Amino acid sequence: MKKHFFLLLLLLTFFVFPLRAQIGEHRSQLSIGVSGGLVMNSVSFDPTIKQKQRNGITGGVVVRYTCEKYFSTVCALQLELNYAQLGWEEDIMNSSAEKLPDTYSRELDYVQLPMLARMAWGKEKGGLMFFILAGPQLGYYMMGSTKQSSTWTLDSEGHPDRPNKVYQQYSMNPDKKVDYGLTGGLGLEFNTKKGQHFYLEGRYYYGLNDIFNNGKKDVFSRSANMTIQAKFGYLFDLFNK
């Protein structure tokens, strides 16, 4: 746990410190808007559960403050408040590693708060910019649902026939509602001369906290979200000095 918080603090310090140094050309630009797109999520289980990427949607509001241009790098801080459909979809095998007709997916709905440092290069007005962003992300589990096939292959003991006899996840609800981890990505943004911003980005999230309890007597020692996102966003300037 201490290691995870240290990684979050280190990343935040690494990205935020250059923004506060104020060595380059000063900017004071506040932009707000919305973003949305597709999320592809899986859960990193230990013991392992074979999975496919589970597709869902994400969307929310974005606030960005651009504070400095250091040489050719435009530096900004970006906060988001998003809703995201996460979870996992199983690629089910039996204990003999044979493909089964059984299907199972679990949807986990989160409210997320990414806190990002953003660096961009290109035209600030009337052109394209390339950008990268990274930072810590907090999430809170809101609700969930399951989808399961009508067929359900059982073993001789009446339990779902699965590799390593791992089937307890079907009846388990998330123990930990708070989720946290590291996120980062890159993309392209088109900036108009009238202070409008259209962007397309890809992002990856690496969860550091587990969904289920991970003590010695618990089923899983790890159960963390891993997310790939493809997003489109629109922002406009409230002010730009």
Instruction: Tell me which of 199 and 157 has the higher pLDDT.
Output: 199
pLDDT of residue 19: 46
pLDDT of residue 21: 47
Total domains in the chain come to 1
Q: Residue 190: pLDDT above 90?
A: yes
The two three-digit tokens of residue 36, written as one number? 């949305």
Instruction: Report DSSP letters for 47-70, one per residue.
Output: S---EEPEEEEEEEEEEEEEEEEE
Q: What is the CATH number of the domain that holds 214?
A: 2.40.160.20
Give the model's pLDDT for residue 151.
Answer: 86
d(CA 188, CA 21): 26
**pLDDT tens column, 131-162:** 999 999 999 999 999 999 988 988 888 899 99
Q: Which residue has the higher pLDDT, 240 or 170?
A: 170
Burial of 16-35, coded b for 16+ CB within 10 Å and e otherwise, reads: eebbeeeebeebebbbebeb
State which residues form the domain around 159: 2-240
Model pLDDT for residues 14-59, shown as the tens digit of each residue = 555 444 444 568 888 999 999 999 999 999 999 999 999 999 999 9
Q: Is 90 exceeded by the pLDDT of residue 71?
A: no
Q: What is the pLDDT of residue 122?
A: 95
Q: Under DSSP, is residue 6 helix (H, G, I), strand (E, B) or coil?
A: helix
- Burial label, 176 (beta-carbon count in 10 A; 0-12, 13-18, 19+): middle
Give the contacts of 188 (CB within 8 A, at least 6 positions apart): 128, 129, 130, 131, 199, 200, 201
Tell me how many helices (H) and strands (E) the chain has.
1, 9
Give percent above pLDDT 70 in the chain.
Answer: 90
